[in-house]
């Protein structure tokens, strides 16, 4: 279940599910009012989580304004990035993320599912942290939000989300630091560094 504020965002913009359906159909996304109502109430999840990004786009809001719960937001973003098929030409960022994954993988016991899950969670959080940072750079620290007939300036919600993601990363860092500390230096051999200086 995705905790979301879709109904509130629609109400704030004086829009109905029918209006949203029409906006999505302009982007060639077929959806009906009852589906939107079920997604909004959290009674049903869309099979393709990318629909949340499309909804945010047509409503001209950040996804974080619709999915305000950090765990739901991270779950949606994680599923979108897992299902992404745009993996043909790797960008520099993707190569760095692969390096991070390999580095963390080398620290854990791969036969332990809980340790593998921590590696995947850390990489997912790191990618989300980057995306939020890009959003902050693109949108700015202060964003203008329509509120009825006027507009209101408020702090970019991505900043608060980035702080929360950072806190989760710091917590996981403690686990990996312990792993680094317990790992023998020089590939398991003796530490000869004091003799080679």
| Contact status, residue 188 vs residue 141, Cβ threshold 8 Å | no
User: pTM higher than 0.75, yes or no?
Assistant: no
The per-residue pLDDT for range 148-178, each reduced to its tens digit, is 788 888 898 889 999 999 999 999 999 999 9
Ranges of the chain with pLDDT below 70: 1, 81-97, 184-197
Q: Which of 36, 67, 98 is the last residue of a domain?
A: 67
Question: Among 33, 67, 101, which residue terminates a domain?
Answer: 67
Residues 94 and 61 in one domain: no
CA separation for the pair 178, 197 (Å, rounded): 27
Do 106 and 154 reside in the same domain of the chain? yes
pLDDT tens for each residue of 102-118: 889 899 888 888 888 88
120 in a structural domain:
yes
From the number of C-beta atoms within 10 Å of its C-beta (0-12, 13-18, 19+), residue 157 rates as buried
Q: For the chain, how many structural domains are there in total?
A: 2
Same domain, 39 and 122: no
- CATH number for the domain spanning 8: value is 1.10.260.40
How confident is the model at residue 16, as a pLDDT?
93
């Amino acid at each position: 279940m995705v905790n979301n504020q879709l109904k509130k965002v629609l109400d704030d913009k004086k829009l109905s599910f029918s209006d949203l359906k029409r906006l999505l159909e302009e982007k060639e996304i077929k959806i009906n009012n009852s589906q939107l109502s079920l997604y909004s109430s959290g009674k049903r999840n869309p099979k393709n989580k990318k629909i949340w990004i499309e909804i945010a786009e047509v409503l001209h809001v950040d996804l974080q304004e619709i999915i305000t719960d950090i765990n739901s937001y991270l779950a949606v973003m994680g599923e979108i990035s897992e299902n992404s098929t745009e993996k043909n030409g790797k960008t520099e960022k993707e190569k760095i993320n692969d390096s991070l994954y390999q580095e963390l993988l080398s620290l854990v016991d791969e036969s332990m599912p809980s340790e593998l899950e921590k590696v995947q969670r850390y990489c997912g959080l790191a990618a989300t942290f980057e995306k939020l940072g890009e959003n902050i750079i693109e949108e700015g620290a202060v964003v203008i939000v329509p509120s009825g007939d006027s507009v209101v300036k408020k702090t970019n919600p991505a900043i608060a989300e980035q702080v929360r993601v950072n806190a989760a990363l710091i917590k996981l860092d403690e686990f990996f630091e312990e792993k680094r500390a317990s790992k023998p230096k020089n590939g398991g051999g003796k530490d000869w560094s004091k003799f080679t200086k």
